[in-house]
Amino acid sequence: MNISEDTDIGETKPTRVGVGGQADEESFVVMVSDDRAFKLSPGAFYVWALCDGEHTVSQIIDDICSETGLARSDVEEPVITIIKTLAENGLVNIEKPSVG
């Protein structure tokens, strides 16, 4: 999936929901409520943590590329997939950008 094909998500500013922490050496947990928690891989947790409501998905992808040295073409599709999956499970809120 290319941001240009999915412009709506690329311009959104996802906001993480819940409180996260390390569960063990290989995974992290995000508590959404007292009775609802999700175990995430380190990569998914990293993306979740970057969803601060201030940066667009496109900016998050750029930040990951800068920090890892990976090409945007290698990062874009997995990051969008992770963000959509997080949203489907209530771990991030994705609001459409306001049209001014």
10-residue stretch averages of pLDDT, the chain, 100 residues long = 55 94 89 92 96 96 97 96 96 78
Q: Is residue 25 part of a domain?
A: no
**Is residue 87 one of the residues assigned to a domain?**
yes
Q: What is the predicted pLDDT for the residue at 26?
A: 87
| Domain contains 57 | yes
Residue 69, domain member (yes or no): yes
23 in a domain, yes or no? Answer: no
Q: Which residues contact 86 (CB under 8 A, 6 or more apart)?
A: 14, 16, 44, 47, 48, 51, 92
Q: What is the domain extent for residue 55? A: 3-17+43-93
What is the pLDDT, as a whole number, of residue 99? Answer: 62
Strand (E) or helix (H) holding 87: helix 72-88
Q: Any residues with CB less than 8 A from the CB of 7 and at least 6 apart, and which?
A: none
Does residue 22 sit within a domain?
no
- Total domains in the fold of the chain: 1
Please report the pLDDT score of residue 1 as a whole number: 38
The answer to whether position 67 is within a domain reads yes
Question: Count of CB atoms within 10 A of residue 2's CB?
Answer: 12
Per-residue confidence (pLDDT) for residue 98, from 0 to 100: 66
